[in-house]
Chains A and B, each alone.
Chain A
Amino acid sequence: MNANLSRLLRAVFVVAALLVPLFFASGYQLFQLTLVVAYALSVLGKNLVTGFGGQVSLGQGAFYAVGAYTAAILMEHFDVPYWATIPVAAVTTGMVGLALGLPALRLGGLYLALVTFSMAVSVPQLLKYKLFEDWTGGVQGIVLLKPDAPFGLDLNPDQWLYLFSFVVGAALFLAANNLVRSRIGLAMRAIRDQPLAAEAMGVELARYKTLTFGVGALFAGVGGALGAIAVGFVSPDSFTIALSLTLFVGMVIGGASSISGAIYGAVFIVFMPNLAEEISKAVPGAIFGAILILFMFFAPGGIASLLEAQLRRLRAAR
């Protein structure tokens, strides 16, 4: 297959993924897909940090929360239109990521896991704290209005929001794809695989690690903002440690060292709990846990690496 044709096919696939649900899915299903985009971006951020950067982070939910609250506070207190909150959320979360990344990344491995884990645990407490209560709404959270489609487009709010999220998501996925293929991406992987050698060859470890961490946070922030707009509500209870663990599961299931893995992972964390619930209402958590372990057995590198291996086998067979 020549390269142009495959690129064309891919483009057709993307457009189909956008258009088919837009006109054939119900509002409820579009809402689910919008959530998939929000989670996929957060998982993608995690993939960059963990899969490509080799840093184990357990606190992606914290950045998701920062993004969500940035969007919510701007909309609620400053009447900023929803679309304008996305870049602000990205920048804010990216900055927070950089600031936390500096001390956190001096510690590697398990220590970073602890720091990020602690961060995820602390975020709900900080959101509730009385100093910030006027902004965050404290324990009550903030209720948001659902945006309507602009320019007189004949789309309902669910369709419009899906379209909007899809475009934002696609742009960021493209950006991530370019990033990992760039010099920075190369440096990131060098650090992951051979840290000492990389350093010896002049890669500035701390700088790249921190940068990666910031970029990973940025992606989660955008995801959080999109999620908040779609759900129409933020509260401390929306961003407990469970969210961070869910995003972690999304990363592991999808495949940490791949870009497309983030999409598979997000689909898994949105739809698999519903399936687990269909199987047993008594122990949906246990069913989900068992499915998770089974996936690890059959696709230890995640769905993306499984698919890649299959694809390679197909090519080799020809």
Chain B
Amino acid sequence: MEGLLHQVISGIATGSIYASISLALVMIFLATHQINFAQGEMAMFSTYIALTLIQAGVPYWGAFVLTLALSFIAGMVMQRTVLEPLARAPVLASVGAFLGLLLIFNNIAGWLFTYSLQPFPSPFGEGKPILGGMLSRHEVGSIGVTLLVLVVVWAFFRFTKLGLALRGAAYNPESSRLVGIPVARMLSLGWGLAAAIGAIAGMMVAPIVFLDPNMMGGVLLYAFAGALLGGITSPLGAVVGGVLMGVIENLAGAYVVGTELKLTTALVIIVLVLVIKPTGLFGKALASRV
């Protein structure tokens, strides 16, 4: 029984890693109606920037804020330079560009920072784990941060005019333009925000999985699955979906099929859920126009 509880809690901790990237995916989906395959690599790159700042002597939270700002700007610049020119191209062209970005970030990070594993500091200290060793301090802290980001994102879309404009611009660019929303600027803003959220995720993930250029390779699929499970249009859904992904994976591996097929099993379960409820647990149906 204790084992089961331990697996669930450990799954929640791992799941919150997936959830943090799911949130960034949802952010960019709400802002642009696209899935950015380079999201994980961008987050990894941001984390290296943070590490460089910390190694240069900037205190942790200073580096944290600076990294967010830099990532935000980089995200906007990327949208302007890479995605904007493809705005009128077929969707597949954008996906091609995402894959290109993924390769570029991964390879450049390896070249600049080497492929060696790097320890990344946690802001929550090294002290004794809690719950009888079931959760480390960093895991508790990063779950807290993920929830905090969730609340902020939710409030942003729910209560601010900007958030509404952002969603509108993605949902219906033509009508948005008519009511005076600067659509192009909204798209880059969405990219900037997603990049910043990704940076937070990266800095929370790195102390757990350690920092290397392939850090996010495994995480992205789980995050993608989690986001869809929760509903790609819902920040809350993204977090619930990501966490569920972690728990299902652990339980499948420990009790059902063994570790060799745990990923496969988890994915099958998620697909089944989606067949029954295609919009995800919390998502809204995307209206299809004739």
Contacts and interface: CB of A to CB of B under 8 A. Distances in A.
Given A107-B274, A110-B232, A300 B102 contact: no
A288 interface: yes
A249 B99 contact: yes
Given A197-B290, A296-B97, A286 B108 contact: yes
Contacts of A256: 90, 92
A272 B200 CA distance: 35
B278 A282 contact: no
A292 B103 contact: yes
Contact of A126 (B35, B100, B264): B264
B288 interface: yes
Contacts of A114: 224-225, 228, 270-271, 274
Contact of B99 (A107, A292, A301): A292
Interface stretch (B14-22, B62-70, B81-89): B81-89
Contacts of A301: 89-90, 93
A112 to B, nearest CB: 10
A74 interface: no
A129 interface: yes
A122 B260 CA distance: 10
A125 B271 contact: no
A251 B99 CA distance: 13
A233 to B, nearest CB: 23
Interface in B214-252: 221, 224-225, 228, 232
A286 B41 CA distance: 12
A13 interface: no
B78 to A, nearest CB: 11
B244 to A, nearest CB: 15
B152 interface: no
A125 B260 contact: yes
B267 A121 contact: yes
A118 B225 contact: yes
Contacts of B110: 283
A125 B224 contact: no
Among A197, A289, A290, the one with the most B-chain Cβ atoms within 10 Å of its Cβ is A289
Given A196-B288, A289-B99, A297-B85, A121 B108 contact: no
Nearest to B280: A111
Nearest to B272: A103
Interface in A163-208: 194-197
Contacts of A10: none
Contacts of B260: 125, 128-130
Main secondary structure of the interface of A (DSSP, over half): helix
Nearest to B102: A289
A252 B92 contact: yes
A251 B228 CA distance: 25
A296 B89 contact: yes
A300 B83 CA distance: 12
Contact of B263 (A125, A248, A290): A125
A50 interface: yes
Given A110-B232, A249-B99, A129 B261 contact: yes
A30 interface: no
Interface residues of B, number: 40
Contacts of A80: none
Contact of B108 (A196, A245, A283): A283
Contact of B271 (A50, A56, A103): A103
A196 B263 CA distance: 35
Interface in B248-290: 260-261, 263-264, 267, 270-271, 274-275, 278, 288, 290
A232 interface: no
Contacts of A107: 271, 274-275, 278
B263 A121 contact: yes
A114 B82 CA distance: 24
B165 interface: no
A282 B274 CA distance: 42
A106 B275 contact: yes
**Residue among A107, A121, A249, A252 with the highest chain B CB neighbour number at 10 A:** A252
A283 B232 CA distance: 34
Interface string A237-274: 00000000100110111001000000000000000000
A197 B289 CA distance: 11
B13 interface: no
B106 interface: yes
Contact of B100 (A110, A194, A251, A289): A289
A65 to B, nearest CB: 14
Interface in A275-318: 282-286, 288-293, 295-297, 300-301
B71 to A, nearest CB: 19
Nearest to A194: B290
Contact of B278 (A111, A129, A130): A111
Given A288-B103, A296-B86, A117 B108 contact: no
Contacts of B89: 296, 300-301
11 contacts: A56-B92, A107-B274, A114-B271, A129-B260, A252-B93, A252-B96, A286-B103, A286-B106, A286-B107, A300-B93, A301-B93
Interface of A: 50, 56, 103-104, 106-107, 110-111, 113-115, 117-118, 121-122, 125-126, 128-130, 194-197, 245, 248-249, 251-253, 256, 282-286, 288-293, 295-297, 300-301
Given A122-B264, A125-B260, 19 more contacts: A50-B92, A103-B275, A106-B275, A107-B271, A110-B228, A110-B232, A114-B271, A118-B271, A121-B263, A121-B267, A126-B261, A252-B92, A284-B107, A289-B104, A290-B100, A293-B96, A293-B97, A295-B96, A296-B97
